Amino acid sequence: MSIARRVRLKTYMLIVLMVAFGATGDVLLGKGMRETGGIALSSPALFIDGIIRGFHNDLVWMGIFSLIFFFLCYMLVLSWADYSFVSPASAISYAVVTFLGWMLLGESVNSTRWLGVLVICLGVFLVGHTPTRTTPEIE
C-alpha cells in the first residue's frame, strides 16, 4: 500500500472513531442529564446545582469518558490531516445519528431531514476526494 493511501485510510479510521465516540458521548450525556433533572439556566446557582447533580449519574460519566476519547481521536488525526478536511468530514455524524435514530429508535424523519442527510453525505463525499493534507511537515 502506498504511503498516501495508508495515510488516507488512517484518517478515515480516526474520523469513524470520532463519530462513534462523539455520538455515543452525546447520547449518554443527554440521557444522563435528563435522568438527573437537567440543567436549569435561570440562575447561576441552579445551573451549578444541575451540573453537580449530573456528576452523580453513571451515564453522565460514561458520556464524559466517551467525549474524552472523541477529543483524543480529534487531536491525533489533526497531527497529520488538514483541519479543513477533518472538520467538514466529521459532519457525517449528523447523517449517522439521524439514520440510527430512525432505524433503531423508530424516530420519524421527515423529507426535509432526509434531504439534509443526503446533502451532508454529498458534501462529505466531495471533501473526502480532496487531499487529506495540503501543508508541509514541519520539524
Partner 1 sequence: MRVWILLAIVVLAGTAGEISVTRAMKRIGEVHQFNPRALLKVLGRAFRIGWMWLGLALLAMAFFSLLALLSWENVSFVVPLTALSYVVGALMAKLFLKEKVDRIRWMGVLLVVVGVVLVWVG
- Other Cβ atoms less than 10 A from the Cβ of 69: the count is 16
Q: Which residues contact 121 (CB under 8 A, 6 or more apart)?
A: 92, 95
Q: By C-beta, is 59 or 95 nearer to partner 1? A: 95
Q: Select from 16, 39, 62, 96 the one that contacts partner 1 (CB under 8 A).
A: 39
Which amino acid is residue 103, in one-letter code?
Answer: M
Examine residue 103 and tell whether it contacts partner 1 (CB under 8 A).
Answer: no
Examine residue 72 and tell whether it contacts partner 1 (CB under 8 A).
Answer: yes
Question: What percent of the chain is helix, strand and coil (3-state, nearest 5)?
Answer: 75, 0, 25
Q: Which residues bind partner 1 (CB under 8 A)?
A: 7, 39, 41-42, 72, 74-76, 78-80, 82-85, 87-88, 91, 94-95, 98, 109-130, 134-135, 137-139
